[in-house]
A and B are shown apart, each in its own frame.
Chain A
């Protein structure tokens, strides 16, 4: 608002412009759409049209809107969770001891396996109402979004620059002011990035969570996910393609309307004091900055937030001096005892539950199947790396191509890969291929792009002088890959590969079982084990499968990715 405006432009700005008209249309359209959907959730479940889907493509826009609104409802919940859980974990040492490891585990648990049970739970909260199903779907999406966002906030809060923290203390900022003036702004870039990642992950779940069957009943919430499920049942390939196109449009829209502007805006909070090369503003941000109405509204909202953040709320009257006050050992001990008690109680419950329902052979079976899935993940990661690293390097070293390819790769990573399964399934059925081998690629269909766009980013950031030095000494061929570029992009590669491998484990639950009409393809693996147990409503085996899978993911991360990442950070960071 304090931006200097050229006088002649300033007068022109005062009149409503064309952008205002566009903005008014958009705002009211969104409001009416939202209201319509909200009314729909209060309908009884057996009301006509409440849970019926039609394959008529004319319905797709409405389904797309409803699916998107579910996404944003979940995103809102994730943000609430992030700001409470993440803050508590960072601010309280004792809570942090418990909350951080829990978050770490939750990150690697494939929540998809629990879908059936969450549906039953939410439906019992609102018997006979559609809202129960809606909440279950939203909860499923939430579980795919919240953890990494909370982690991002936690880590930012823990790494606030010491000099700024001191400046806050020395200028008497209250805890509340400090949170909004220092800690939240500092966390914004990481949080925005993770929100974007979460959105991508959420699409995968939304498709899986809209059509749920519990026992003999199958409900389909109006949305793109259930549309696809119905298309698969009816073997309608045209409808599948319509859905894919609708999805492409939706992702393109929210990417352009929401995330591009958000990312550009958040770069202002990046903690660097040197002016970097700034990309031009995305068109949506320009629209928001140029539209008189949106400017006024945005300005008012901004001022309100600033005023709220400026309130001198604090638990303590004034900040205390740091240093000598040692934490109370007694309270520590009590806290530890309480935690041990909870732990013991949980352990007895689990053992009791497992003893009545499961035998040791079940564990053996699950671990065996886990090993098969592990082999799949490893082979896929190697294959994906062999394919995408050279391509990513090629693209990244050519700035023009990197600029074009980067958004495409990010877009592909956001696309819910399970929408692309049907063509694969058709292909396998038609050629009578082995599902054990040919279902496997589905697991990386959606996640391989993380490798690609991270490698592109790494290659694009590779210093020009090192490239010149390599050229100058005629380093070429295999030597160039081994000594020059691979170490140069390694940190980026590992970052991408961690995300890709984590996603692949999760995708296994959906990818190892696929169906086309009456034909059902099943591969051997832990994912299929969980999916089948879910179908049968066999809670004990779902839990066992999920626990074993979590153990595999955690072990994989701790034993391979973390050491690799630490090594890359230590030795290969430029």
Chain B
């Protein structure tokens, strides 16, 4: 691909980037590993991956907000050390200052550069008009809708005429229609050459958004975050979501992302992984039952195409994939080539009544989730059938970040309670066998 556009100079180069958080006892927690990225002028590049794949971390490394543990970041041929000039960022949460007006928020970056007041106001007004915010100059962020707020975020980034525009899941906090309007507006400005930027790097977990906007997509795998594959999007702007080629590409990426999720078979000589090294997403039992029932019913009859399912349920890949993987972990469903299919056990679960469902779920948990098995074992062994949750969280934290450990524990508590494998006292942070038949 490098050969295809040799004329465009390279803006940014990330080589062999690794980001790890230091743990005292055990090995480091690796968030990003061996990531390479070259960004040339005139392209929109998307970093696509699930939450926890380190794509936002990479964005912060590129912006200079975060220093990588190892590896080099070169910006316009120089090593990056701290936030670079010519890089501006758009935040998922908008990050607008609630006490500054739209105009003042937009002027912020210019003020930091010491641009004189007259020029500052002129440039801010231009950016505000460009992004379709004219008339809102004196409004405070809290008076605006989400879409308008993100327009302020965009104007604030564009007003400094950045060479590189970084966007961290810029549309994920917006509703579907608003997000679509913003995407098309941005792409229109880009295609017409009205955006004062040379290149755009955006993070997203929305597959369609990536295919709609980007010229190149890097698909990340999780744990640790790596670039699993790199795709070039060959379509011209404006792109049509209903175009069969477009759909095919979305399907392919779904397949790619689900295939990656299956753990690779390990050689017998490989060091054993601790049973606790498995981080679990926050997936509730109701939503699992709901998906299983949906799969079993019309029109899917036990098998569904993931993009189609996501579209009809109004789920994003980032929500649907962890759900599917959890069902696969419990062997209630399988993921294959962008499809999800019920297993026999899953079908039995759907047909069962409440008590039988709980029994099936409990058996699946004990068989496939080592943490649940371990908690129950400890409880059975103790004379008072009680155990502190802190101990399990500490053990989990040896293998993952504290946030993930907390999430995993919370998920397991919810599952265990539903399956009536154990009860949990939030106040005392204690597992017990009280009220368990």
Contact B111 A310 (CB under 8 A): yes
Contact B143 A181 (CB under 8 A): no
Contact A167 B95 (CB under 8 A): yes
CB distance from A302 to the nearest CB of B (A): 12
* 8 A Cβ contacts from B237-263 to A: none
Residues of B within 8 A of A188 (CB): 99
Q: Does A174 contact B (CB under 8 A)?
A: yes
Say which one of A80-88, A212-220, A229-237, A312-320 lies at the interface with B: A312-320
Contact B82 A318 (CB under 8 A): yes
* 8 A Cβ contacts from B77-95 to A: 81-83, 85, 87-89, 91-95
Say which one of A321-329, A434-442, A525-533 lies at the interface with B: A321-329
Residues of A within 8 A of B96 (CB): 273
Question: Considering only CB atoms, which chain A residue lies closest to B120 in the complex?
Answer: A310
Contact A321 B142 (CB under 8 A): no
Q: Does A360 contact B (CB under 8 A)?
A: no
Contact A177 B97 (CB under 8 A): no
Q: Mark B117-141, 1 if CB is under 8 A from A, else 0.
A: 0000000000000000000011011
Complex Cα spacing A188 to B94, Å: 22
Q: Quick one: given A171-B112, A177-B111, are A164 and B82 in contact (CB under 8 Å)?
A: no
Contact A318 B138 (CB under 8 A): no
Give the residue of B66, B93, B95, B138 whose beta carbon is less than 8 angstroms from that of A321.
B66
Contact B67 A321 (CB under 8 A): yes
Q: Does A269 contact B (CB under 8 A)?
A: yes
Contact B142 A275 (CB under 8 A): yes
Q: Mark A196-240, 1 if CB is under 8 A from B, else 0.
A: 000000000000000000000000000000000000000000000
Contact A182 B97 (CB under 8 A): yes
Complex Cα spacing A174 to B137, Å: 25
* 8 A Cβ contacts from B261-311 to A: none
Residues of A within 8 A of B160 (CB): 171
Contact B81 A172 (CB under 8 A): no
CB distance from A277 to the nearest CB of B (A): 12
Q: Quick one: given A272-B98, A321-B66, A322-B66, are A172 and B93 in contact (CB under 8 Å)?
A: no
Give the residue of B95, B138, B427 whose beta carbon is less than 8 angstroms from that of A164.
B95
Give the residue of B82, B101, B141 whose beta carbon is less than 8 angstroms from that of A273.
B141
Q: Quick one: given A3-B138, A171-B160, are A322 and B98 in contact (CB under 8 Å)?
A: no
Give the residue of B63, B67, B92 whose beta carbon is less than 8 angstroms from that of A170.
B63
Contact B108 A312 (CB under 8 A): no
Residues of A within 8 A of B149 (CB): 273
CB distance from B365 to the nearest CB of A (A): 28
Q: Does A39 contact B (CB under 8 A)?
A: no
Contact B83 A324 (CB under 8 A): no
Q: Mark A129-173, 1 if CB is under 8 A from B, else 0.
A: 000000000000000000000000000000001011011011111
Q: Does B103 contact A (CB under 8 A)?
A: yes
Q: Does A271 contact B (CB under 8 A)?
A: yes
Give the residue of A169, A185, A269, A274 whose beta carbon is less than 8 angstroms from that of B83.
A169
Q: Does B147 contact A (CB under 8 A)?
A: no
Contact B93 A173 (CB under 8 A): no
Q: Does A348 contact B (CB under 8 A)?
A: no
Contact B138 A320 (CB under 8 A): no
Q: Does A571 contact B (CB under 8 A)?
A: yes
Contact A163 B95 (CB under 8 A): yes
Q: Does A4 contact B (CB under 8 A)?
A: yes
Complex Cα spacing A188 to B97, Å: 13
Residues of A within 8 A of B63 (CB): 170
Contact A275 B112 (CB under 8 A): no
Complex Cα spacing A82 to B91, Å: 32
Q: Does B414 contact A (CB under 8 A)?
A: no
Complex Cα spacing A163 to B150, Å: 14
Contact A268 B82 (CB under 8 A): no
Residues of A within 8 A of B89 (CB): 166-167, 170
Complex Cα spacing A52 to B63, Å: 68
Complex Cα spacing A185 to B99, Å: 7
Residues of B within 8 A of A172 (CB): 83, 85, 109, 112-113
Complex Cα spacing A166 to B100, Å: 17
Question: Considering only CB atoms, which chain B residue lies closest to A310 in the complex?
Answer: B111
* 8 A Cβ contacts from B48-83 to A: 60, 63-67, 69, 81-83
Contact A571 B427 (CB under 8 A): yes
Question: Considering only CB atoms, which chain A residue lies closest to B101 in the complex?
Answer: A2
Contact B65 A321 (CB under 8 A): yes
* 8 A Cβ contacts from A245-270 to B: 268-270
Contact A181 B97 (CB under 8 A): yes
Q: Mark A556-574, 1 if CB is under 8 A from B, else 0.
A: 0000000000000011000
Give the residue of B95, B98, B109 whose beta carbon is less than 8 angstroms from that of A270.
B98
Give the secondary structure class of B's interface: loop
Contact B65 A169 (CB under 8 A): yes
Contact A177 B112 (CB under 8 A): yes
Give the residue of A164, A174, A323 whose beta carbon is less than 8 angstroms from that of B112.
A174
Residues of A within 8 A of B85 (CB): 172
CB distance from B139 to the nearest CB of A (A): 10
Q: Does B6 contact A (CB under 8 A)?
A: no
CB distance from A185 to the nearest CB of B (A): 5
CB distance from A278 to the nearest CB of B (A): 10
Contact B112 A273 (CB under 8 A): no
Contact B87 A170 (CB under 8 A): yes
Contact A272 B142 (CB under 8 A): yes
Residues of B within 8 A of A171 (CB): 88, 108-109, 112, 156, 160
* 8 A Cβ contacts from A275-328 to B: 275, 310, 312, 318-325
Contact A170 B142 (CB under 8 A): no
Complex Cα spacing A306 to B127, Å: 22
Residues of B within 8 A of A185 (CB): 97, 99
Complex Cα spacing A171 to B113, Å: 8
Q: Quick one: given A2-B137, A170-B88, A273-B142, are A163 and B93 in contact (CB under 8 Å)?
A: yes
CB distance from B284 to the nearest CB of A (A): 21
Question: Considering only CB atoms, which chain B residue lies closest to A1 in the complex?
Answer: B138
Residues of B within 8 A of A571 (CB): 427
Complex Cα spacing A151 to B70, Å: 39
CB distance from A126 to the nearest CB of B (A): 42
Question: Quick one: which of B67, B69, B97, B103 has the most chain A CB within 10 A?
Answer: B97
Question: Quick one: which of A3, A166, A181, A182 has the most chain B CB within 10 A?
Answer: A166
Question: Considering only CB atoms, which chain A residue lies closest to B113 in the complex?
Answer: A172
Q: Quick one: given A171-B108, A172-B113, A273-B96, are A322 and B67 in contact (CB under 8 Å)?
A: yes
A residues with a Cβ closer than 8 A to B are: 2-4, 161, 163-164, 166-167, 169-174, 177, 181-182, 185, 188, 268-275, 310, 312, 318-325, 570-571
B residues with a Cβ closer than 8 A to A are: 60, 63-67, 69, 81-83, 85, 87-89, 91-101, 103, 108-109, 111-114, 137-138, 140-143, 149, 156, 160, 427
Subset of 23 A-B contacts with CB under 8 Å: A2-B101, A2-B137, A163-B92, A166-B60, A166-B91, A167-B97, A170-B64, A170-B83, A171-B108, A172-B85, A174-B112, A181-B100, A268-B99, A269-B99, A273-B96, A275-B142, A312-B114, A319-B83, A321-B64, A321-B65, A321-B66, A321-B83, A322-B66
List 15 extra interface pairs beyond A3-B138, A166-B89, A273-B149, CB under 8 A: A170-B65, A170-B89, A171-B156, A177-B111, A268-B98, A272-B98, A273-B94, A273-B96, A273-B98, A275-B143, A319-B82, A320-B81, A323-B66, A570-B427, A571-B427
| 9 A-B pairs closest in CB distance | A171-B109, A321-B67, A163-B95, A167-B95, A2-B138, A170-B89, A173-B112, A323-B67, A185-B99
